[in-house]
Structure 1
Amino acid sequence: MMSVWSRTQAGRWGLLLGTMLLAGLAQALEPVKPEIDERDYRHLTLDNGLQVLLISDPNADKSAAALDVHIGHNQNPLGREGLAHFLEHMLFLGTEKYPEPDAYQNFISRHGGRHNAYTAPEHTNYYFDIDPDALEPALDRFAQFFIAPLFNADYVERERHAVDSEYKARLKNDARREQDVHRELMNPAHPAARFAVGNLTTLADTEERPLRADLVRFYEQYYSADRMALAVLGNESLDDLQSMVKERFNEVPKREVTLPSSYPPLFAKNQLPLKVEIEPEKERRQLSLLFPVPSDRSHLGEKPLNYIGHMLGHEGQGSLLSLLKDLGWAENLSAGARHRDRHDALFQVSIELTELGVRATDQIVALAFHTIEQLRRDGVSEWRYRELKQMGEINFRFSEPQPPMETVRRLAYRLHLYAPEDVLRGAYHYRQYDAELIAQYLGAMRSDNVLISLVAPEVEGEAKSSYYQAPFQTRPVESDHPKIKERIQKRLTFPEPNAFIPTRLDVKEAPMLPGPGSRGEQSPEHPEKVLDRERLQVWFQWEERYDVPKSRMRLRLKLPRVAASAEGAARMELVARLLEDQLNEFAYPAQIAGLDFSLRPHARGLDIDIFGYSGRQNLLFTKIVEALRKGRFDEDRFDDLKSRVIRQWRNEDKETPYAVIAREIPRLHYAPYWRGRDLIEPLEATSLKQLHEFTDALVKDASVEALLYGNLYRQEAVRLAAYIEHQLLGDVTRRELKPARVYRQKGGEETPWVYRYPLDHDDQVVMLYLQGLSTRPEDAAHMRLVRQILRPAFFHELRTERQLGYVATLFALPLRDQEGTALVVQTPSASVERVWQEMEAFLADGEQYLDENLEDQRSALVRELRKPAKTLQEQSERYWDSLMLGDERFDRRERIAQEVEAITPESLKRYYRQVFVENGRRLWLVTDEADPERSAREISDIIDYQRSLETLIYP
């Protein structure tokens, strides 16, 4: 089968290549695009073999570019694990034409942009976005990465430590640890068995083997133009984009690159079947079945692994997940290709287990193989493939434009996978049903060709993996699986036809006004209130700009019984999870058909969010409301999900350290706010009877804010508002909702505050939190501009120059409309005292950066604030954020933009000194008990700390 496809594909490509040769290598091709996509596209191949996709979008608020090199860490030489990743780092640090190590980063930031890169097994992807008028000079700097990088010897040692810091920052990441164990079990001759990230040992710089020489050799061996694909998006015409690209990227050298025609098997002969048990850092339990299968790169049109993943990963009635939940053994299930490279792949079925499920591992494996056998026997059917094909066509037809940087990053990668005409639709396009091909892949999913991986705290590892020190042990797999009772087998069925697949896909036209010659209504500029009651406000806007048959319903339920205490917040979290679980079998087909929902509990209530194709939204909304009103749950599911929620809360402090510390800021400055560990005890003490009593009274005294937006008419919104009022506003018992409070520092003190939060991690974190002076747009404008200016300088000084750690950044951390900025360093080696001092030194000298290109920085921020939303989803987010801030005029962004335009060098420096320099406005958060050299006011009691601050009240 594979050879037949190869001949067909070769013939198609041969015809295409012949056409290109006749017309010249730069012959342009136009990819197939969605009908609502107003961008223009052109594909061409430069003389040096570099593929290019040009995207002209006159309305784009940002330009962007990405270059994907079809080379990754699978090409690392033996003994130089991590070299491809190290190369990715080094390319940012100067070129012959632009030798300064921060020239590229500073230029991108100065013109309102962002940049990043990643290294994967077979790809390395570099990308950025920028203000439209700066695209050409940005491309000039970007192209030099691939023409004449310096690989400055002064930065080899520094960046080697940066890679090591990145490696150490994730030593306790369970995904990395699990992957490390699996890597050790793979065939050592396969490149996937090698360590990918790199550390000080694998990147050692010695006289016998200089690191820079290996780096240059790798670059010159593999970074060839014909292994590259470039995507560029800009306001310019396609001809102008082509001119600026050809002028620069034609200079990228083409080299003779030799790659293996095949890889050795992923697992050595007779190594499978095998079972491995891994001890995690977090309290998590997961069973995975990993099957080595042939690469599906030759069958991206037929998508056999997508079909198999869809069938095995189904969550509706009769599914494997549904049965495992009923048995009390599992909470979640996913299926699909996990690892893909040029020559092979891993198909993975992963099951999140309960504690009871860990003890039933053998039975679960038997059920999984029974399901695979059932799929092989009678689950491969053309009508199911047609459903996937139909939804693919619908989703492609109405695929809304993604942000420019995401667009180019994704398309540069896809240029290596798909023919030029399919680069946009390839991921959606199911070319043809091939039962034999699906059967071939199912044939590889056998009990003698599987790695069974169990991750659970109950495991006691006998060995440790080489790089992440994960305890594990291996066991032989029994040849005979437990027999499954016939009555259990009968409960496993495959899905019926999906009734949620949308059939009404017309975008509603503007309603006609009464009277002769009247025209349809124009969409209002922003949402309008269609219902305004004391306990219910409903906002509505019919939307025509995005030309998609989709809508979004968002509701915030403010619930006094939730806001009253940690007990109420804990119970609301569990109720939300139980409701999602209860609705899952009904809602999963809707999700497959492009209609999804979420329930987000918070400290004062519950948010309901429904988004997707509008035809069946009312049905889904009705089901959600009915389940919430009923509020009755099965005892087994109550026990399982209660344990799951508590387990997630216990794991919170085992996340990335700086993210854990960032969560402490709202704990100190916002109320009501609860961390997970604050809620464990009240939830543990909650019985099912108490939870039912809680749900019975849940909507009493409730109030609701709602936004109904998109492909629906005003009269539909009014009917929905009436339904909300009738169903979700319970009795009034005069129980008042506790107001929200934001605590703001007053300043005026000579010493800063410090808050210590020790973590069980080898890295240390130092975070500085700074609040704005007020909630006025003027304050927000100054804070955002300072943050934008400082970000690249902070990264360069503390990470690149001073080598404090892999994480060195600053980010926005607002609380309601109170602006805030967090500066953070996470370090594997430096002391808290040193990092504290280095951050203070940076801020003491930080005023110098405010003078550099202020006009460019100000213009970039104004453009960012004024850029129009590109999708219905994005616009709905903006409207909702405005409503949550009480901005009923929907103009806060514009008011901030106007204030940015009014900023002067003097006002910016004055603001910087008040907010970023004054000690009394500083809150330091650290993970070490050690004292810094200077004194600080330590926070020992949070309530006392909050009493010393200014309090802002929100209803």
Structure 2
Amino acid sequence: MLKSAYDIRQFNHIELANGLRILLIQDPNCAKSACSVTFNVGHFNDDKDCHGISHLLEHMLFLGNEEFAEVNAFNDFIATHGGSINALTGTEYSSYFYEIAAEYEQQALAHLYAMLSKPSFCEALIEKEINAIDAEFLLKQKDDLRRLYQVHKETCNPAHPFSQFSVGNHQTFKPFTPLQLKQKLQRLFERFYQPQNACLCLISQQPLSVIEESVRQQFSNWQSKGKFTSEPLPSLYLEHNLGVQINILPLQKARRMILTFALPQQHTHYRSKPLNVLSHILGDEGEGGLLHFYKTKNWATSLSAGGGIEGSTFKDFNINLQLTDEGIQYADQVITALFSYIHLIKENSIETWRIEETATLNQLMWDFPDQAKPIDEACHYSQAMFEYPPQHIIAGDYLLDKPAVDIVLEMLGFFYPKNMRIKTVNPCVKTTHKAKWYDTPYSAEPIKPARLNSFLSGNWKSNFALPQANQFLPPCKPVKPISVEFVLPVHIINENGLDIWYGQDDKFHQPKGDCFLTFDCQTVNEGIQLTTAKMLWVALLNEKLKQKYYQANLAGMHFHFYPHQGGFSLQTNGFSANQLEFCTNLLTQIVANKDFSSSFSQVKAKQYQRLSSALLNKPINRLFSKLSVLMQQQNHAPSEMSHIMQNLTPDDIGVAKEKLLSQFYLEGLMYGDWSAEEAYKFSADIKKFRMKHNTCDKVYRGVTDIRHSKAISYQVECQHKDPAVVIYFQAPDASLKNVALTILAEQLIATPFFNQLRTEQQLGYLVGSGYIPYNQHPGIGFYIQSPHHPAEYLIEAIHLFLQQIIENINQFRHVWDSLKKGVMKQLMEKDTNLSMKSQRLWMAIGNQDKTFTYSAQMTQTILDIDFSQLKAYLIALVSRQGFGEAILYSSGQYGSISYKTEVITDIQRFKSSSQYL
């Protein structure tokens, strides 16, 4: 099995006698075992008269089987043992995946096998789960991406199963009795849920021989249910589905144009990857590229090339553009310019060095990836096993060992007007139809031949230049020797207004690193005006820097420049060679750049749209966003910032920048593959820079104290008919013990809360809880979004649930030890990649954990807590002894609540009179 020379994992691919294909991975760095099973079945296989049946089947598999009859038994087992579980139903694949503490690997496999081989399909539960799917469907009613997707379905070949409604809802299932649905589920299951139609991936710390024995023990007895067959698919597009103009009216103030070219399937070209090569050229953001040209014309603000739906027999290649108002007016010129650029590519052919460069970039990303979580990797590989032969399962996504100019040019041959679909998404379009299910207004009509021909008549070629060779490809140098002194970060500069830390990675052995610089600026205390101007300043600089360093980003050297409560931060990460110099150059440009007029109106419009679109977010997101504003002194509401954003000028940005840099505290960390000599040299440069500016202390990040008032409530405006509620409990203090108790309480409550309020009471699709610390002060949040019940009902349901938890608290004694064990494992969890480790160490520095022992201290604290202490904590929470309570809600189609709380009508006024922790 082909793997990277730097990959320390061990792999084995086996096939059982029943046809089940299995990929076993021994990963010494994985914190938990992870497993995924993928079946070659999806909504393309739905019954023609019952759309969504595959999705319903996915849900029903979790609701009991012959071996484990209890509803959600698998979910509960996983949650109780420090893991997580999920599933997805796609077009042609369905996957079931989980992670769990390593010692429960065997039991989890037993649950998985029982779920996939002996489901109950209980009729009484079918109706309940249809309610959950309907709630999931209703949740997406205001999702523009889902609404756009439905228009796509309605404008392709109606005989192709892509055109079918994949989610399902009350209407699609209503014609059938629970018994009839059970029979449909059983038929679908019997036909497709067979071992020879499945691929399993298991990732574990244990030796391959051990995990192979575990899998064989569980799955060798899985019986095939008969000969497996699949039907050929028709063409995705008929002739009249191409060369069309599709206009779509969005909910949000989008101004998009998506140009789609219909291509054949790409699986057979995985070793030459022609579309990767074309994406690099068409998506280039440097000078001379398409996006640069569009920006100079003020036609578009962003461009991505290469996305699009894909299946076993088709592939869409999308050019996705965010247009300006002017770009909407010149839409045909935008398209004409694209074809001029395509003509330039064809004229120059595809130089072999471009394919070699793509192959080099792929090799770098394969050799030195930012390792994904094992659960994500397991899910990916279980699907990849259908896409690639066994020897290329690991390499397939990166492999480019058969470069072929002719295949790239063959694919480019599909980029012509008659093979194109133009999707225009903006508030000004005229529409004639409404898409089913989501009521999306749209129109679709063929493009006249004269207009198609005009797209090829442009004379923009002289404005373009194909991308130059990438100058940022890192040299292949060995990793620096490790010094024991620096395995944990060391404080190498500790002066007034400046703290710099440096450490070396001794675990991942990659030629990479992360460099963090954060600026705390006293002027943020001026309030919302300065905060909004800061946001725009950062966005304007990002616009310039991202174009300038586009190729650096491609070559695996990245930067992140972003605002935060106390000021702003600059982070670089990726390959360590030249990265510290890169960081210094970025810092110089951040300070030196004084001209903010370039692309000012474009960037400002984009920021304004982002802030003003917040109202259209789904209710739960809106509530948590408002809670963050309510609870944090330096946070401001997007709606209020949008009003200020409208009136900002380039001069305002210049003034804000000078204020921010006039006085600041600077803290930084270098962690990764750098020698001490490099670190000290970089620190000296930072020190020189620091000495040119005045110093100040760290900015105080206040947390609103709501502990000693009665419960507070705030109604959040939201353009969605679903009511939603978030109830947040603020813990009495931020001591280690209270943090531990808050985490344990949330972990204990999470599963029964979900089971009772979502599965049993069917209050909505979005139901859950979470540990929510604000600036290190602990708290717990409970949330429900419901299509069927008013906010007041949801609030009472949450309170009633908590009261019942207290009354029945002793029933949880039997899971107490395993719960504690699971939480401790999470705290001591190994980092899965270098960036995760760097980020953890950087957060520790920010949280004043300068000995990097917080996790160990917290683990010991949890170990010392007994069940009676947790019980006392929960009783105090429910009776609000020392706890604060905030209720945020959106009423949706119902009116305001009448609940005994202190009602907040103006958040800013409330915050100005609040005390802060």
What TM-score, normalized to structure 1? 0.92
In 1, Cα distance between equivalents of 2:500 and 2:204: 39
1:808 match: secondary structure: strand
Relative distance call for 1:631 and 1:484 in structure 2 (3 A) is farther
Shift in Å, 1:918 = 2.5
Shift in Å, 1:458 = 1.7
Of the three residues 39, 49, 64, the one matched with 1:94 is 64
In 1, Cα distance between equivalents of 2:913 and 2:61: 49
Of the three residues 663, 668, 672, the one matched with 1:706 is 668
Shift in Å, 1:933 = 6.4
Shift in Å, 1:103 = 1.1
Relative distance call for 1:917 and 1:496 in structure 2 (3 A) is same
For the 8 Å contact 1:563–1:605, the answer to whether it is kept is no
Of the three residues 465, 474, 480, the one matched with 2:453 is 480
In 2, Cα distance between equivalents of 1:281 and 1:785: 41
Q: Which moved more, 1:794-803 or 1:879-888?
A: 879-888
Of the three residues 213, 217, 226, the one matched with 1:247 is 217
Shift in Å, 1:711 = 0.8
Structure 2 partner of 1:602: 564
Residue 399 (structure 2) pairs with residue 429 (structure 1): yes
Of the three residues 552, 571, 592, the one matched with 2:533 is 571
Report matched runs for 1:536-685 at 5 Å: 536-633=498-595, 635-685=597-647
Structure 2 partner of 1:493: 465
Structure 2 partner of 1:923: 886
Deviations 1:125-166 (A, max 9, x none): 111111111110111011112210001111100101111111
2:166 match: secondary structure: coil
Structure 2 partner of 1:935: 900
Deviations 1:707-762 (A, max 9, x none): 11111122222222222233355433x88875221123324x6x532211131102
In 1, Cα distance between equivalents of 2:520 and 2:385: 48
In 2, Cα distance between equivalents of 1:443 and 1:824: 51
For the 8 Å contact 1:204–1:211, the answer to whether it is kept is no
2:387 match: secondary structure: coil
For the 8 Å contact 2:339–2:456, the answer to whether it is kept is no
In 1, Cα distance between equivalents of 2:48 and 2:271: 35
Q: Which moved more, 1:375-384 or 1:301-310?
A: 375-384
Structure 1 partner of 2:748: 789
2:493 match: secondary structure: strand
In 2, Cα distance between equivalents of 1:549 and 1:823: 43
1:426 match: secondary structure: coil
Q: Which moved more, 1:110-119 or 1:300-309?
A: 300-309
In 2, Cα distance between equivalents of 1:668 and 1:265: 53
Relative distance call for 1:566 and 1:400 in structure 2 (3 A) is closer
In 2, Cα distance between equivalents of 1:127 and 1:831: 34
Relative distance call for 1:343 and 1:570 in structure 2 (3 A) is same
For the 8 Å contact 1:764–1:831, the answer to whether it is kept is yes
Shift in Å, 1:56 = 2.2
In 1, Cα distance between equivalents of 2:37 and 2:879: 40
For the 8 Å contact 2:615–2:717, the answer to whether it is kept is no
Q: Which moved more, 1:533-542 or 1:845-854?
A: 845-854
1:894 match: secondary structure: helix
Q: Which amino acid aligns with 2:773?
A: P
Q: What count of residue pairs does the alignment treat as equivalent?
A: 908
Report matched runs for 1:331-346 at 5 Å: 331-346=301-316
Report matched runs for 1:894-905 at 5 Å: 894-905=856-867
Deviations 1:89-127 (A, max 9, x none): 111111100000121111111111110011111111111
In 2, Cα distance between equivalents of 1:723 and 1:59: 36
Relative distance call for 1:729 and 1:125 in structure 2 (3 A) is farther
Shift in Å, 1:553 = 0.7
For the 8 Å contact 2:256–2:322, the answer to whether it is kept is yes
Relative distance call for 1:423 and 1:883 in structure 2 (3 A) is same
Relative distance call for 1:627 and 1:698 in structure 2 (3 A) is same
Shift in Å, 1:554 = 0.6
Shift in Å, 1:689 = 2.3
Q: Which amino acid aligns with 2:747?
A: Q
Of the three residues 359, 384, 388, the one matched with 1:389 is 359
In 1, Cα distance between equivalents of 2:164 and 2:461: 41
Report matched runs for 1:181-260 at 5 Å: 181-207=151-177, 210-256=180-226
In 1, Cα distance between equivalents of 2:664 and 2:178: 73
Shift in Å, 1:949 = 5.8
In 1, Cα distance between equivalents of 2:318 and 2:513: 34
Shift in Å, 1:468 = 0.9
In 1, Cα distance between equivalents of 2:88 and 2:394: 21
Deviations 1:846-897 (A, max 9, x none): 2336424100010111111112223211111101111222222222222111
In 1, Cα distance between equivalents of 2:145 and 2:177: 36
1:781 match: secondary structure: helix
Shift in Å, 1:523 = 4.7
Of the three residues 39, 57, 62, the one matched with 2:32 is 62
Residue 779 (structure 2) pairs with residue 814 (structure 1): no
2:875 match: secondary structure: helix
In 2, Cα distance between equivalents of 1:781 and 1:255: 50
Structure 1 partner of 2:701: 740
Q: Which amino acid aligns with 2:916?
A: T
Shift in Å, 1:64 = 1.4
Q: Which amino acid aligns with 2:443?
A: Q
In 2, Cα distance between equivalents of 1:161 and 1:883: 47
Structure 2 partner of 1:857: 819
Report matched runs for 1:681-830 at 5 Å: 681-728=643-690, 730-732=692-694, 739-747=700-708, 752-830=711-789
In 1, Cα distance between equivalents of 2:147 and 2:707: 45
Report matched runs for 1:230-379 at 5 Å: 230-256=200-226, 262-379=232-349
Q: Which amino acid aligns with 1:598?
A: H
Shift in Å, 1:626 = 2.4
Relative distance call for 1:367 and 1:621 in structure 2 (3 A) is same
Shift in Å, 1:209 = 8.2
Q: Which moved more, 1:765-774 or 1:841-850?
A: 841-850
Of the three residues 90, 93, 99, the one matched with 1:123 is 93
What TM-score, normalized to structure 2? 0.96
Q: Which amino acid aligns with 1:942?
A: I
Of the three residues 813, 829, 846, the one matched with 2:805 is 846
In 1, Cα distance between equivalents of 2:696 and 2:202: 57
Structure 2 partner of 1:11: none
Relative distance call for 1:912 and 1:207 in structure 2 (3 A) is closer
In 1, Cα distance between equivalents of 2:177 and 2:858: 56
Structure 2 partner of 1:513: none
Structure 2 partner of 1:508: 480
For the 8 Å contact 2:520–2:664, the answer to whether it is kept is yes
Residue 18 (structure 2) pairs with residue 48 (structure 1): yes
